[in-house]
Structure 1
Amino acid sequence: MTAYDSTVPTLLVAIDISKHRHEVLIGIPGKKRRRRLTIENSLEDFQRLSRLLQDFDLPVRIGFEATGNWT
């Protein structure tokens, strides 16, 4: 497991993975409300998410959760 310094403001991102689209929840340091968005399973949408996260200019920590079975 990687060491994590909780004193550094960090953008927390949760991604709920599914086949065609993914639900994203972004926790922004210092804000109570979280930003929600849906991205399609496409290169363009992943690039859009990447640009959005880069615009915050903060370290990013991402967690993934699969929606269904992996069989």
Structure 2
Amino acid sequence: MAPLPTPPAEPQDTPDAYVGLDAESAERLARERGWSTVRSLPPGAIVTMEYLAGRLNFEVGDGTVKRCWKG
């Protein structure tokens, strides 16, 4: 049997640190900290629930990050 693949390492980062930042600055900071995918979504957007290692999600309202989560 083949070994299970090891998912890529995620940056050691706290998603709550992005809340309150303007969307552009938050995305730039996330990429600088090593997140491979950064996704900005409007409040209430319908999204898939699969977990993608290395992805950081922002809920953005009025140009400001309102919520942030991994995956």
TM-score by length of 1: 0.34
More strand per residue: 1 or 2?
1
Q: TM-score, normalised by structure 2?
A: 0.34
